[in-house]
Amino acid sequence: MADHKNHHRTDYACIDVNSEPFDNKSPADEDGALFYPIRTSCGSLRCPPYKDDADVLCVVCTK
């Protein structure tokens, strides 16, 4: 996931769908970061084998 497509994408993060809070703070709005799913786009990727407009769940980068 990353910030909104209209913002500058500088960091990508894999998000655990079953994540738990680190502390007992209330879930009040603290104007923190908002995460959006990364979507595929034909043209940037070869289609096929990739599908257009699909979620990229997580990746492992290697050299």
> For the chain, which residues make up each domain, given as ranges?
1-63
Query: Which ranges of the chain have pLDDT less than 70?
Result: 5, 7-10, 26-32, 59-63
Q: What is the pLDDT of residue 30?
A: 67
SS3 state at 35: coil
Residue 59 CA to residue 61 CA, distance in Å, equals 6
pLDDT value of residue 60: 67
Query: How high is the pLDDT of residue 42?
Result: 92
* pLDDT value of position 52: 93
* Contact predicate 35/15, CB 8 Å: yes
